[in-house]
Amino acid sequence: MWPRVDGLRTIPLGTPGRMRALLNGLVLAGAKQATAGLMELDYRAESEPLEHLGERLVIVDDDGGRVAEVEVTGVEVLPFAAVPWEFALAEGEGYASIDDWREVHRRYWLAEGYEVDDSSEVVCLHFRLIDPPPGGTSG
């Protein structure tokens, strides 16, 4: 099960440290409006259901503290090879091409202990920043 903050499921983006800080910063700037997860690794292994439209989630820091709140605007499960360029762009991480996105994600998930192939199920999650507003501060 994923941790909860104020009753909401959390999203710890990337790995702790520099990567998470960078990704959280992209969310706060409004540049990152999507994230990818592996169905097997992030959902089945954690006994978590898919997110649903309108669900609010908490983006957390390395200590599990609230960084931001987002609202799910779309969720789709696709084979790894079918993830579209538009999704990679919405991740806001500056990928040069869909092939670049695939290579980066293959390496990331392999480092997490999961080898991805073209048929691996990827959860493509779209969201919008609720609090703080993009480029703003909470409170």
pLDDT tens digits in sequence order for the chain, 139 residues long: 778 899 999 999 999 999 999 999 999 999 999 999 999 988 998 889 999 999 999 999 999 999 999 999 999 999 999 999 999 999 999 999 999 999 999 999 999 999 999 999 999 999 999 998 655 554 4
Q: Name the residue ranges covered by the structural domains of the chain.
A: 4-130
Provide the whole-model pTM.
0.90
Class of domain 4-130: alpha beta
| Beta carbons of 121 and 79 less than 8 angstroms apart | yes
